[in-house]
Amino acid sequence: MAVPRAKTSKAVSRRRRGVNMHLDAPQLVECSNCGNLVLQHHVCPKCGFYRGRQVITPETNG
């Protein structure tokens, strides 16, 4: 059975684990109606359209 010669330092183990612990940027697509950037498979908050049809009526702020 293999035995490590020395203790793995905190920096080395955290560097190894930290490679996969990052956050990915959200995937944004253009709204087919107004061109606003929206999350995929979500209703556009600006115009209220989803997949070419009006789903909600957006509230105007101001």
- Backbone φ, ψ for residue 29 (5° rounding): -130, 160
Q: Which of 21, 26, 51 is nearest to 37 (CA)?
A: 26
CB neighbours of 27 closer than 8 A, spacing ≥ 6?
39, 40
* Coil/strand/helix, residue 34: coil
Per-residue pLDDT of the chain (62 residues; tens, 9 = 90+): 889 999 999 999 999 999 888 888 889 999 988 999 999 999 998 999 998 888 888 777 65
Q: What is the DSSP letter of 24?
A: P
* Coil/strand/helix, residue 15: helix
Please report the pLDDT score of residue 61 as a whole number: 62
Please report the pLDDT score of residue 58 as a whole number: 79
